[in-house]
Amino acid sequence: MLNAVVNMGVSTLAFSTDSDQDTVSSRLLAKATNTPTAVTEEWLRTEPEKCARLLAQYDFLRWDFRPDPSLDDIWHGLYAYHEAEGRYPDQTVIDIASDVGHDTGDEWGSLRDLMRQAKVIARETGTHLLLVHHASDSERTKRPCPRRSDIHGKVAAIPELIVTCGTTNTGDLHVACVKNRHAKADADASNHFPMHLDAATSLVGDYIERPHAPAYGGWGQDQHEYAEREEGW
């Protein structure tokens, strides 16, 4: 999510229930400087002026770090943004959807209510609404990317676009489009593509194929292969 909103570069109001201010700040610093978060977390304590200078480039992101915002909190946050900026944000992020508090209803009923309210928010404010949500994690879950049917709460009916993500044993991030109301999609998540993930620096980018280490086959074989390459060149 963090890489997505940074790459989009549009005005964003983000409700981060899953990560607090220090966690998000350290990840943004890591991404900006290609430095492990283990180091940037220390910068927040020892070099606050440096951190403020580096984080200033992300001023198009506005954060709300309440761990359990209600739907009223989200609406009030949007109204406050409009009051300050004269317009609604281009994008609103809720990470994680299941953390949004509800007064009544079970967890799945609350999630479905959130989906309905999300449609109202998007239409009335014109903001692009990005919700981060979990999928099931069991032996029956599709790997590396969950299917549309694996999404918790069966809330896939309303969203326009759904992308599922998962990692492989080699540490690569794979992404699948399991719903797209305006183009092709694969609900079974069989058509997924890899992306490069560097967890230490909180970076997601284009896939980088890892070179295979050549097997040593003895001096004679190496010389023969080298000669063939030279001739082909």
CB distance 95 to 15 below 8 Å: yes
pLDDT of residue 171: 85
Cα–Cα distance measured from residue 107 to residue 98, given in angstroms and rounded to the nearest whole number: 8
pLDDT of residue 208: 77
Instruction: Please check whether residues 75 and 176 belong to one and the same domain.
Output: no
Tell me the per-residue pLDDT of 132-172, one tens digit each, with 9 for 90 and over. Answer: 999 998 889 999 999 999 999 888 999 999 999 999 988 88
Q: Which domain holds residue 93?
A: 1-133
Name beta bridge partners: 70: 101
Answer yes or no: is pLDDT of 219 > 50: no
pLDDT of residue 198: 93
Of 133, 149, 164, which one is at a domain's C-terminal end?
Answer: 133
For the chain, give the mean pLDDT. 89
CB distance 195 to 173 below 8 Å: yes
Could you count the other beta carbons within 10 Å of the beta carbon of residue 212? 6
Number of domains observed in the structure of the chain? 2
> What SS3 state is found at 127?
coil
Answer yes or no: is pLDDT of 80 > 80: yes
Look at residue 222 and tell me if it is in a domain: no
> Where does the pLDDT of residue 105 fall: very low under 50, low under 70, confident under 90, or very high at 90 and above?
low
Tell me the per-residue pLDDT of 167-215, one tens digit each, with 9 for 90 and over. Answer: 998 888 999 999 999 999 999 999 999 999 999 999 999 887 766 555 5
Q: What percent of the chain has pLDDT over 70?
A: 88
- Strand order of the β-sheet with 91-95 is 61-64, 12-16, 91-95, 128-132
pLDDT of residue 13: 98
Q: What angle do CA 196, 179, 172 make, to 5 degrees?
A: 15
Instruction: Please check whether residues 117 and 165 belong to one and the same domain.
Output: no
Look at residue 219 and tell me if it is in a domain: no
Cα–Cα distance measured from residue 32 to residue 50, given in angstroms and rounded to the nearest whole number: 12
Answer yes or no: is pLDDT of 107 > 90: no
